[in-house]
Structure 1
Amino acid sequence: MSTPSQTILLVDDEPHVVHVVRFKLEQAGFEVIVANNGKVAFELAQKRKPALVVTDFQMPGGSGLDLATQMSRNPETNQIPLIMLTARGHRAPLSDLARTNVRSLLAKPFSPRHLLAKVHELLAAIPTADRDATSKDTGSAAA
């Protein structure tokens, strides 16, 4: 399903969440890059062009919605799908999300297995030409 060249950008300010999600994704064969706020995440997304972004909704330095909006407006990042993690009981504004590439919402706490299944599902939906371009971009950046 995944290839070693697929990079996922993980954005969360909670060290425990980062540890668990990173472990699960790396165990599945993904390269994981981490940012703890939206500003750093946007810079990494432009530079590394990950295949997918998993981001928390609420964090310092710009919310996950701010990040998704920025990415959707930038031609270098507007095709990258996102998975948004939200705290239980916190509702992301669906009308705002509809204008972004957020493809899935997961409420915390979530099953790492469910997140991994969602990652595979979203990556499988990316057209092959886009996947090949992303692999080449991230492959050269990793060297």
Structure 2
Amino acid sequence: MSDENNHNLDGDTEGATSASAGKTILVADDESHILHVVSLKLRNAGFRVVTARDGQEAFEMAQQEHPDLIITDYHMPQLSGLELCRKLKQDPATQNIPAIMLTARGYHLEPHDTEQSGILRMLSKPFSPRHLLATVNEVLANAA
């Protein structure tokens, strides 16, 4: 995926903000079009983006990259997004990484699941890329 494309999916241009400067976001989803849309939106906003196509790959990437935020799908091969977040929460090196969970419309997690796994927000698919970016900025601002 190229970083040369400077337009975003909403048709306007945007540059790096102080919230995005130097921040790395891990995006984990087994649907390639979701990875593409989310990565493009975040890169255009100035974030460094790393991607994973399943929960196990995401776990390994999180341990290597120590991202500032994880955006993960709930339903993925190897490990679900919830299992991924729980596993990361058990590791002292990754336990403080906040997460945003992408879910199918109408799917909800129990409050104890989100509390025990570091999931700070949930977004239902389909979602607006602009709303996702606003949620990312809000979570990162609150985590600072």
Alignment TM class, shorter chain as reference: 0.7 to 0.9
Show the 5 A alignment for 1:1-143.
1-127=18-144
| SS of structure 2 residue aligned to 1:91 | coil
Separation of aligned partners in 1, 2:118 and 2:63 = 15
Separation of aligned partners in 2, 1:64 and 1:55 = 6
Separation of aligned partners in 2, 1:122 and 1:96 = 18
- TM-score, length of structure 1 as denominator length: 0.85
The change in CA–CA distance for 1:91 and 1:3 in structure 2 (over 3 A counts) is closer
| SS of structure 1 residue aligned to 2:143 | coil
Separation of aligned partners in 2, 1:67 and 1:16 = 21
- Residue identity (%): 47
More helix as a share of residues: 1
Code of the aligned partner of 1:15: S
**Unaligned runs of at least 5 residues, structure 2:** 1-17
Bigger RCO (CA 8 Å, 6+ sep): 1
**Unaligned runs of at least 5 residues, structure 1:** 128-143
Separation of aligned partners in 2, 1:96 and 1:124 = 23
Aligned residues: 127
Deviations, residues 84-107 of structure 1 (Å, cap 9, x unaligned): 000112222332222111000000
Q: CA deviation at 1:26?
A: 0.2
Separation of aligned partners in 2, 1:10 and 1:116 = 13
- TM-score, length of structure 2 as denominator length: 0.84
